[in-house]
Structure 1
Amino acid sequence: MLLAFRAGNIHSFRDELDFSMEATAQAEEGVPREVRWHQKVGSTLKVLPAAGVFGANGSGKTNLLRAMTALREHVLFSFRSGDPAGGVHRQHFRLDPAADDRPTKFEIDLILDGVRYEYGVSMDSEKIIREWASHSPKGRPALLFERCYGSPITFPAGKRALGRAVERITRPNSLFLSAAAASGHPDLLPLFGWFERNLMLAEASSRPQRWAYTTQLLHDKETRDSVHALIRAADLGISNVRIQPLDPKVLDRIRRAVLILAGREDDADGFPEIDLTELGLVLSHRGVKEDVEFGVAEESLGTLVWLGIVGPVVAALQAGTVLLVDELESSLHPTLVERLVALFQDPDANLKGAQLVFSSHAATLLGSGSGSRPLGRDQIWLTEKRSDGSSCLYPLSDLSPRREESIAKRYLSGRYGATPIVSHEEFVEVARLMTTCGRE
């Protein structure tokens, strides 16, 4: 499970951000999972299964998710697909020229198979400046490696021979972790494998690939029933999904799209074009006398959005991975969004400790102050854009909201910040200008 993610000088975050999935004293009862983090009996951490990021448009919500994805892409592809003379591809903060010369930093803290891992890297546009990893199989952090530009890489005793062999093939602009995985380094393969399986980002631009992902899961007998059940549970009127025989060339494009989305292949040549109508999905709707089949082109946008999210959700719940979703509520009813979050919150539905990190404008997820909350007070994060264009991230728990507080109402009224500052007069003036232009 993901414990924490930190980054700096990435996208709209000029300064360092610190995001945590560890529960606090404000956690809702029964929501955090107790996760053992090393071999000592009784050594557990309380970890949250879901967290939502809220804020005004353009405040940095999406960029937090993209920062996580950027680290994943560096780990998976910097050695395998990087250009030896191409420098380091990074999306640093661009509104301040001084940020050009400052490094971009990433750190991640996670528990994998009962062992706590920490990994970090800093880079500029030319090279990797520092990179390190540690794990805690016996409770205390033990170094896996530490790399500083211009100096030999440090390895623990007994691991130096293999480490030096990997060091010789590691380029200045590629990650040692990536090169170590390509070389089959046994101590670092688990960490690399975590990045392969986790931090898939579901955003609008990837919807065609997610349709392909859902289609592939419908082809698989081990996941077909779960996907069917989640489609039916959404009350879209769909009683069944049938897949028509597909052309082998279409199947190949679907497989490649799924590999790219899952991080098993990079997109150097771009995503393969996937048209939803090519996927052969035929949806049956309940009729007065019998079910009636419809093509996907006849479905509503909300239905198509749901088809694109159910595949990644089923895969995350079955594998116990971290799923990132941008604008979770896009074209979906608030009740449906709440039920989706509840899947990750419910330990009976989420048996393997999958985690959902999402951005949203759906204030209904924040709770009214009476009854149970869709999200606990320590599961809510806020983004705000400063006057210089940079984003800042902070947890609602820092503001110490009371248990009975109507968080949704106070959020919308601007009590916690993270809401847009808009002027009615400016909108009226725009309307006047439009009217004047029309008359002319």
Structure 2
Amino acid sequence: MMDDEAGHPSMLLAFRAENIYSFYDELDFSMEATAQAEEGVPRDVHWHQKGGRPLRVLPAAGVFGANASGKTNLLKALYGLREHVLFSFRSGDPSGGIHRHSFRLDPGAGEKPTRYEIDLVLNGVRHEYGVVMNDQHVLHEWAYRYPNGRAALIFERTCGKQVDIPAGKRTIGRAIERIARPNALFLSAAAAGKHPDLLPLYDWFGQNLKFAEASSRQARWAFTAQLLREDASREQVLALLRAADLGISDVRIRPPDPKVLERVRRAILILTGHEDDAEGFPDIDLTELGLVLSHRGAEEDVDFNVSEESLGTLVWLGIVGPVFDALEAGSVLLADELESSLHPTLAERIIGLFQDPEANPNGAQLIFSSHAPTLLGNATQSRPLGRDQVWFTEKLVNGRSRLYPLSDLSPRQEEAIGKRYLSGRYGATPIVSHEEFVEVARLIAAGGRK
């Protein structure tokens, strides 16, 4: 999100969590550049620190690992914090508990709290926000800002105790405290009470962290179609569709059936964070959106209905809208299995848009999961990602996920990272037995179909 005050982008720095989905132990994810950063990739983000240097922040990061190792769960954990912030107060049940996703493979995990922490630069000021919760209550919640490089408390809330608020903001803080519920975040209530120091933080969650994953594909189609309807965005989105070398020359949009419009409107509101997705996205068939894609023919363009398009074309149609939106707004796009049904070159091009300062002047960030070793690159080719932009997830024997960065393994600058990943040198690869697969095949062959 662009920083209107200082003219510099606001960007995500780090995310930590514990006892969420498959991560029983702490996960610690960072977008700050390391000494292994590739030249020209980190973005200098200026913040209000006397005599301090700008923070060097990465515009993209990829998470790689075996199936069911926790890649998607990292993205879901980050997106889940957004959902708590935006909706725990206005959509939560006053008499209910807290809906959380604690680790399920340990019987004691349900008694262990879930913790989230996030660091970001917002309006030229570094912020930290964190919350600890169980199934019933918010146990601990806090927010700090660093206006001069030193921590300044915005608030701290402890279960069963009064909220600690700085002297100058106690009047509005106490008013918010009176409406806050034990099962809702103080940050959420503060937005309803228009707390001046917390509204920007709340708004950051509302305008960032879009999640491109399988369940949102229909909503993303609707979002792309909406952008193609609007004069301000049509040409840029159309250019992204054409650039993919799918043969698309133009897109026309027939007016959708009025009965479809309400479902389309709600899907877009959920996707953009204006409505709770507790009930899921409304069902929208792509054919209901009225999209007609023209392809270059030998003599003239030929119209195709979307039902006649390839899966790769439909996947691209669902990702270009969120990519355009992130680049325009300077927001964070979470993309699950970025390369799914796309040629690896197209996935590389998406990463390249975020990596290029000219294409991404507003400081947008891309965090994605992937299986594709081509996105890791090798010594003989240009790497889509730098060595400090690669993370791995691994499933341990007790079912817990572990997250770790490639930079911890100190890879050499010329290292063939893609080949070494496939060979298991970094871990994060499935442990499978050829003999076990063969034995299963023998049993199938012997039993036949009953």
Distance 1:370 1:34 in 2: 29
The reply to whether residue 72 of structure 1 matches residue 82 of structure 2 is yes
Name 2:100's counterpart in structure 1: 90
**1:6 aligned to 2:6?**
no
Equivalences for 1:7-406 in 2 at 5 Å?
A: 7-38=17-48, 40=50, 43-406=53-416
Q: After superposition, what is the alpha-carbon deviation per residue over 1:376-434, rounded to whole angstroms, capped at 9, x for unaligned?
A: 00000000000000000000000000001000000000000000010000111111011
Q: Secondary structure at the match of 1:6?
A: strand
Task: Work out whether residues 215 and 281 of structure 2, in 8 Å CA contact, stay in contact via their aligned partners in 1.
Answer: no
Residue 210 of structure 1: SS of its match in structure 2? helix
Write the deviation string for residues 320-354 of structure 1: whole angstroms up to 9, x where unpaired. 00000000000000111111100000001001000
1:439 to partner: Cα distance: 7.2
Structure 1: segments with no counterpart, 5+ residues: none
Alpha-carbon distance in 2 for matches of 1:115, 1:372: 35
Q: Deviations over 1:46-65 (max 9, x none)?
A: 00000000000000000000
Distance 1:126 1:283 in 2: 50
Take 2:398 and 2:432, find their aligned partners in 1: how far apart are those partners? 17
Instruction: Give the root-mean-square deviation of aligned CA atoms.
Output: 1.0
What 5-or-longer segments of structure 2 have no aligned partner?
Answer: 1-10
Distance 1:274 1:422 in 2: 38
Q: What's the CA shift string for 1:175-230, capped at 9, x where partnerless?
A: 00000001111111000000001111110111001101111111121111111000
Shift of 1:16: 0.4
Q: Which amino acid is 2:194 matched to? A: G
TM-score, normalised on structure 2? 0.96
Q: How far is the alpha carbon of 1:170 from its aligned partner?
A: 0.4
Tell me, yes or no, if the aligned pair for 1:87 and 1:173 is still in contact at 8 Å. yes
* 1:413 paired residue number: 423
The TM-score normalised by the length of structure 1 is 0.98
SS at the partner of 1:420?
Answer: coil
Contact 1:39 1:114 in 2 (8 A): no
Moved over 3 A (4+): 39-43
Query: What's the CA shift for 1:246?
Result: 2.1
